[in-house]
Amino acid sequence: SLTDGQKSQLQRIHLASRHLLKMIEEILSFSRIEAGREEVHLETIDVAELAVETCRLIEPLAVQKSLTFDYDGPTERLFIKSDGGKVRQILLNLLSNAIKFTERGGVSVRVTDEGQEVSLEVRDSGVGIAPDQLDRIFEPFRQATSTGPRRHGGTGLGLTVSRELARLLGGDISVASVPHHGSTFTFRVPAGER
């Protein structure tokens, strides 16, 4: 059996290893994209179920920071033809960023069926992004906030990789933000043949 101190240290080691793994995955994805070697593996996926599973995976990070975490999506299955691994990676990146840059308030996810495409929206009440930084945040190794210099960990590749993967799937990511009031990232992915 472990003492509370040992459990705490093991939890820190586990979180650090997950963080390092995420950084390595971002660098590898970026390398494959740059080399033109990233492949899309189309399959029929239930994007609502995928979103719920991804939210369950990331919600403990929000709880750990005392943030609210809300999900609003279809109660029925929502099938699309896409690359499930890439859709999950993009959503994980957007959610991780939302939690990382939010100190108070919360994070929410909304999944909407818009006919020819599905919209996955991640909204936070975090620091927001200055208007002159909105285009730059998708550049490699960038991390811009309305509060000035880079203060948060990471490679600065998450949004770059996410946008490139979204475009590889035939979709895109857009952002709307108000400094000191939060940001909304919207990932649109084609539904394909249903």
Read off the DSSP letter of residue 114: -
pLDDT, the chain, mean: 87
For residues 80 and 71, what is the distance between their CA atoms, to the nearest angstrom? 19
Q: Residue 167: is its pLDDT beyond 50?
A: yes
Provide the pLDDT for residue 148.
44
pLDDT class for 33, splitting at 50, 70, 90?
A: confident
**Is 0.85 surpassed by the pTM of this model?**
no
pLDDT-derived band at 150 (thresholds 50, 70, 90) equals very low
Question: Average of pLDDT values for 126-152?
Answer: 73
Inform me whether the pLDDT recorded for 126 exceeds 50: yes
Structure tokens at 65: 């920071």
Looking at residue 144, its pLDDT comes to 58
Side chain identity at residue 12, one-letter code: R
Higher pLDDT, 31 or 47: 47
Q: Cβ contacts of residue 26 below 8 Å, gap of 6+? A: 93, 155, 157, 158, 161
| Sequence-ordered list of residues with C-beta below 8 angstroms from that of 37, at least 6 positions apart, any chain | none
What is the spatial distance between Cα 156 and Cα 150, in angstroms, rounded to a whole number? 10
Q: DSSP string covering 9-77, please? A: HHHHHHHHHHHHHHHHHHHHHHHHHHTT------EEEEHHHHHHHHHHHHHHHHHHTT-EEEEE--SS-
pLDDT at 146 over 60: no
What is d(CA 2, CA 137) in angstroms, rounded to the nearest whole number?
Answer: 43
Question: The tokens of 71 are what?
Answer: 């999900």
